Structure formats: C-alpha cells, structure tokens
Chain A
Amino acid sequence: MSAQENKPKERVGVYVCHCGTNIAGVVNVGEVSKWASDNMKDEGVVISRDYKFMCSSLGQELIQKDIKEQKLTRVVVGACSPHLHERTFRNACKGAGLNPYLCELVSIREQDSWVHTDKIAATEKAKAIISGGVARVIHHEALEPLHVPIHPATLIVGGGIAGIQAALEIADAGFPVYLVEREPSIGGHMAQFDKTFPTLDCSACILTPKMVDVGNHKNITMLTYSEVQKVDGYVGNFAVTIKKRARYVKTEDCTGCGICWEKCPKKVIDDKFEAGIGYRKAVYTPFPQAVPKYPVIDDINCTYFVKGTCKACEKFCPTNAIDFTQKDEIMTVEVGNIILATGWDLFDARRVPNYGYGRLANVFTNMEFERMSNSAGPTGGNIVLRDGKTPPKSVGIVHCVGSRDKNYNNYCSAICCMQSLKFAHLVHEKTGATVYNFYIDIRTPAKGYDEFYQRIIEEGTLFVRGKVAEVTDAARNPGEEGKLIIQVEDTLVGKQRRIPVDMVILSAGLEPRSDSKALAKTFGISCSADGWFIERHPKLDPVATMTEGVYIAGCVQGPKDIPASVAQGAAAAARILGKIQQKEIALEPVRATIHEEQCSGCRICNTMCPFNAILFHEDKMVSEVNPALCQGCGTCVAACPAGAITGTGFSNEQILSQIDGLLLLTLDKKETVPSGS
C-alpha cells in the first residue's frame, strides 16, 4: 500500500518529548519536530510539537486539544519505551475520543538518546524512528479490549511468611484462597528461626498465631504436602492441577495426639526442618506447632514400606487414623489469580572448600545455628560444639559465604549481616564466648538495623574487616592446637591474622529454589540468570510479573528479610483484591489469529507457544488461537511456515511500513519498497 492512498485518509499528530534532558540533552528535539511537520505532510502529518514532559498532565492536554481541534485520526509520540508510558498516551487519546490503539509510542530515549553520544547522528536517528512510527500508525486499526470474568479464588504457592500474609489478607477480605505447601506444615523458613532481628522477638511466637489463623480460616483451603503440577488457562480463569501426596493418615480421624510418632521405632536424620542436626521419626510433624497438626508417614524411610512389617503407629493410634493404603491424589482447582511465594534454598557451604564445612566438625551453617539456638531444637537451645555438650569459648562468624562472590553468587544475600549480628548477640547471651564477625562491608540499611549494629558493638563483639581466606585445623603453634584457625587479612590493619576459635558459623547465602526454573516454566513467567523470578518493573511494579494474573512475593523475587517478605505478600494480595473487586478484566486486544484456509496443520506453532494458547482441531486439521490465553508475543507469527498467522497490531503491513519509514523510504516515493518484499 503506498503512502498516496493514505494521505487524504489520515490526519497524524507527532509529539516529541524532551524528557527533561534525558532526550533533549542528546537529540535536538526542536529540529526533529520541525522536520516531521515539514517533511511528512504527504504522510498525513498535520501537526508536530515538542514539549518538556509529554507525559505530564499539561503534555497530555496538549495532545487532547489537538485531537479535538485538528481532528487528528492518528497520534505518534516520540518519547520513552512503551513499557513506561504506552498506557498513559493511549488513555490520553481515549479521553479525547480517539480509539487508544490509534496511538503509537516510539522510543527515542532507550533506543536513541540513552545509547548515543553523537548529537547530530542521534537527532537523525530520532527523525527515522518518528518516520517509522508515522508509517506504521497509518495502518493501525481501532481495537476494543477483550473483557473476561475473574474467578474470585486465588492460588498461593508456598506457605512461608509471605504466602501466609497474602492468604490472610485475601481471606479476611472475604475471598477464597487455596494455599499449597510442599512440606507437611506451613510456616516455611521462619518457623525454623530462633529470634528475629532487630527486635529479637521469638520467631515462633509471632509466626504461630498467623499459622493458626490460616488453619482455622473458613476462606482458606490448606493443601499441605502438595505440589502444583500444571497450570492451564489465563488471568481470571486458571485451572490448576495439584498433586496431594499420600499422608497415610486420615485427617478426618486424626487428633494430632502424637502417640504415633512416640511409638514409631524408626529415627531419621531431619535434614529439612532441623537442618541435619536433629532427628525425627518416620511418622512425624516437622515441629510441635505444625499447622495442620496431622502427621505424615515418610514412605521412603518407614519400616512398613521398606520391609513390609511394623505398623506400630497403626496399632497404637487411638482413633484408627493410620491408613497405609492411601494413594497420591490429583485435584484441579479453578482460580482467577496466582501468587508464587516459594521462597529460597540455603547455599551449600560445602561448595567453598577452604571454609571446611562438612570436613571440619565444628564449622556450622547459619541454619544449623538457628536450630541449635532454638529452645525447641535438638540441643534445647544450648549452643554447643558438634560433640553435643561442650560450649564454645570463642566463635567466629563468617559473612558473605557464597554471596558477593563471582565464584558462586554475585548478589548480596541481604539478610546475612543482620543475621550474623543476631548470632553474635545470641552466642554472647547464651555462652559468654568471645565472638568475632568477619565481614567485607556491614550492611544495615533498614529501620532499627544500624541501631542493632551499635548494640552488638557495645556488647563487645570483635569485628574484623576482611573476607575469610580459610578455616583450618592445621596448627602452627601450641596456642592453635585443637582449635579451628581462621586465616584472614585484617584489612583495616593491613596484616594477615590467624585467629583460633572453637566454633565457626558460616552465614551461607540465599539461593533460588533448585527447581525454580521448572516452576517458572509451569507458571509461564521468567527467571533471571540467577534463578530469581522477574518482576514486571524493579521499582514500580515489584510484585506483578509479565504474565497477567501471576504475582510474586517474598524471596522468590530476590533475597529479602521478613518485613520485606510480609510487605510483598500483603502488596500482592492488595493487587489481586483490586482485580477481584472489578469482577472482570480488560485484556490487551493484541492477539494472534490463524487464517484457517492457509493453515497446513503442521502444528509447529502448537509447541512453540509459551502460553499454551494454541489448540489443534483434529477434525479440521487446523490450529486455532484462544484469544483469552494469547499474550500477543508473536512467536507463532514468526514461526508459521505458511505465513498463516497474523498478530493484531503487528501485521506484515504494519511491520514492513515501519521498516520503510525507518529507512526514510516512505519519503522518497520512487523508491518505496514494493509490498511483500
């Protein structure tokens, strides 16, 4: 289609934004604006303006006034990325009575002024980008958003503090919640901790009331010992397949009396809840305040499942609640929105061989120390060496284990400084031992955190600035005999030091769950290279994801402490409550459509679609896109060998015209590339 045909049809307004000096510092915006009105009259440009902040209300009013007075039928804004302000300008057009999809936002900031320093070349590039936008916008069609109803129920995956907070917020507002937890009890890592920084509240004392609330809430369906297997559908209408593992305990009969685990003869090292320093039985609840109170039988270790005899639990159960015939159950629930709050895994400290964890008995991890310090833990809250009885006289706490290190994880794990300071306090309080903290930088930025640091200094903890080089038991002098020696450069003195201690605690960092990439795929969201889930915007939209209806909260998004996790859980809940209240959701009408007569039925698009939005009609041997599932990503459009798929808003005509515009071919009629080339 050539430009002449369109010239009388459309009246285009061009708006060039300065973005303060973000664009105007590199691009001569006045020149670009004048160039557009002088050179693109034939393309339909009737007015062109530049303005300091196009996104401000004054800038938007400028566009709206022109739409009315100049009778504009198309608008092109040259400003920032559509990620930021496409909605702003579409809404401005809508406010003036122009269909919002007749507005095109082209980026002369991220794609021009921010990436160039040559002002003349950048100005020329801005002209080309605007020209491409004008050539494209002429082919835009007026579109209406798709409206779909929202199912009022919400799925929350992960029963740690972030998931618990989100579940209670939504349930308290009167809407149903399914809370799925992989372990036999909700509570997450927070249930394992002893004290919480900086106030030193007992972790269980502040967490268990919330757990009980979840257990008793009429709007919350708890699915513990369960995992999500599959997610179908789309925002407002997800169908989630959940596997409920067999507990071998009839929850309707069980009273949680605990006789079964008392009588169970099989002891198992508890490497989950007790971090490997304590035992549980083969039938167990992870901890006394577990919610739900019903135990599970661990069929890998249970003597009956291994050898076929025993059944001690069954014999002694006063309510006959044990049922060895139970099978895993698959169930499907329908929900409108999803929150992922699956938390984190602990960095495996064995990966740092020079710190000796797993080789030197008295090197402990942070989670081992938490359990040791917890009065409900394996040592009854006594801080002792690996022999189980000797209290340490001196303790070294090593920061940044597996964090801030290109050999392991680049990122800062965010909680280790405060956690290490807390450990110093607990060791002081419980043993009176000399405590050293070995740190690179002390990071205590949140409320009350630096005050806590001051308090720990006052208590007499010794701070050595230096990343520990190694922990060894090879003594060089009699004073080092029988000790663990921490070798480090005291960087503030500039000398190497060897400090003998009885116990070393490694502040191992936080890592994404080992299966986080598979989880991201199940829910159709993206992971960073590290494995943390990616939020929609790192500052302005931290709990939403690029997939509508799927939210993230807590450490699944990146390392963070309890207050931040709680805030994110509540934030995600608030976002979802807002959606549920609207009862329906407007979806972007940018969708792919398959032209049935051109489709060869090869099914290439079926497997490529990241949103499982394409279904195949066996009878007609053609594929079809479900418009509610389609996110308009364009993968299928590009993949179709027959060219049978069109993306709304991204038709061949629109794309090729934009390319012609970018190359300024539309301005030179003689050289216009024939369509289809």
Chain B
Amino acid sequence: MNENVIVSDPPSAGPLMHEDLELLHEVALLTPGDSHLEMCIQCGTCGGSCPSGSAMDHTPRAIFAMLRAGMREEVMKSNTPWMCVSCYYCTVRCPQDIHITDVMYTLKNMALKSKMFQDTTASDFSKTFISYVENYGRSFEIGLAGIHNVTHLRLAVRLPNMVPMALGMLTKKGMSPLPPKRIKGMNDLKKILKRAKELEAA
C-alpha cells in the first residue's frame, strides 16, 4: 500500500436498535409523529424552562436519560409527566426539536396502563378534569378543585388553608360557584370523543 490509498468510512447505517433502547423506542413509537426522542443531547433546556420543574421528582431531561437506561419502573412511578402543564416551553426551546410535551402524554398513558404508580392523585386529577369536559364540554374549576381535594384525604387537610384563595377567586375574579352551562352541540362532542377513544384503542 502506498500514500495513494485512501479509504473513507462507509456512511452510517442509521440509529442503532439495541435491546437496551427497547424502552426508548417503545415510547417513541407510542408518540404520534416523529418525536425525535432519540436525539436528546441532555442539555437541560427542558428542565430549566419547565414552570413545574421544581415539583417534579425528575426533570424531563433526566426522564429521557432514564428511558435510555431502560429504567421502566422508575419512569412509570415518576410524577414528572403528571406535573406537566402543557405550556410547551420545553418543546419550543428544545435545540433538538424533541416533542417533549407529546412524550409526556405518552408517558401518562403508559403509566396508567402499567399500574405501577402508587400515588393516584395526579392521574385522578386528569380523570376528574376530563369527566367535566365530557359532561359539559368545558372545564369547571370549582368543581374540579372541590372533588379532587375531597376525594383525596391527603389533600383534604389542606382545604382550610385554601379557603381565602377560593373566596378571593369567587368574589374578585368573578368565578361562578355554579356548574357551567353545557356547550351547544354536546352530542357532537360526545361522538368525537367516542371516535377518538375507539381510534386510541385500535
């Protein structure tokens, strides 16, 4: 061989499908569209931007690292996706264009199905919220707060402290204590939601 020999590297064969990455790929597949989840560079923009970051037991970035490490149980038990308020700050700022909020929804679904998490307050909150949407076509804050706090004893102890805030909201912010009016076309909404559930189950 002389100096004329130049051997370049062949092009890469695409992302590796290693068994360690099983969990990561499962989450990616269950997320609509291309979430770019495997592209995370662990920069922490999501965790830094998250308004609920301080209430999460793991930041979104840490969750992605745990997915990569195959830590299924820890992820399913984490409160992280349940603390997500869908503000989309993380998604807008992510330098790798990862659809982080969408992934959080996937993780909520997976957690419900896995039945691994013990504290159901967060998931119950979502369920109560959805039940109002299904019945009235809109949310009902007083009812949501009331039912949620009353049905969870651990939370009910906080209620006395929350009275001044509730009174303020009722008097100053013009929030109604009465259940909301049902939206027009409630039947159509129900059909839409039914179809959506069928599609999800399929």
Contacts and interface: CB of A to CB of B under 8 A. Distances in A.
A467 B11 contact: no
B97 A469 contact: no
A487 interface: yes
Nearest to A490: B44
A115 B11 CA distance: 8
Interface in B41-88: 41-50, 53-54, 58-59, 61-62
B95 A467 contact: yes
Contact of A467 (B5, B8, B43, B62): B43
Q: In this complex, which of B53, B58, B97 has the most chain A Cβ atoms within 10 angstroms of its Cβ?
A: B53
Contact of A22 (B4, B7, B47, B93): B7
B161 interface: no
A405 interface: yes
**From DSSP, what is the main secondary structure of chain A's interface residues?**
loop
B93 A469 contact: yes
A354 B93 contact: yes
A598 interface: no
A19 B10 CA distance: 12
B171 interface: no
Given A20-B7, A56-B2, A494-B58, A466 B43 contact: yes
Interface string B185-199: 000000000000000
Nearest to B52: A496
Given A22-B7, A56-B1, A489-B61, A440 B43 contact: yes
Nearest to B11: A114
Contacts of B95: 400, 404-407, 467
Interface in A593-639: none
B5 A470 contact: no
Nearest to B90: A469
B123 interface: no
Contact of B53 (A19, A22, A60, A489): A489
Contact of B48 (A55, A57, A467): A467
B140 to A, nearest CB: 31
A511 B94 CA distance: 20
Contacts of B54: 495-496
A496 B50 contact: yes
A434 interface: no
Interface string A175-193: 0000000000000000000
Nearest to B43: A467
B23 to A, nearest CB: 19
A465 B47 CA distance: 12
Given A57-B2, A489-B48, 4 more contacts: A469-B44, A488-B48, A489-B59, A494-B61
Interface of B: 1-2, 4-8, 10-11, 41-50, 53-54, 58-59, 61-62, 89, 93-97
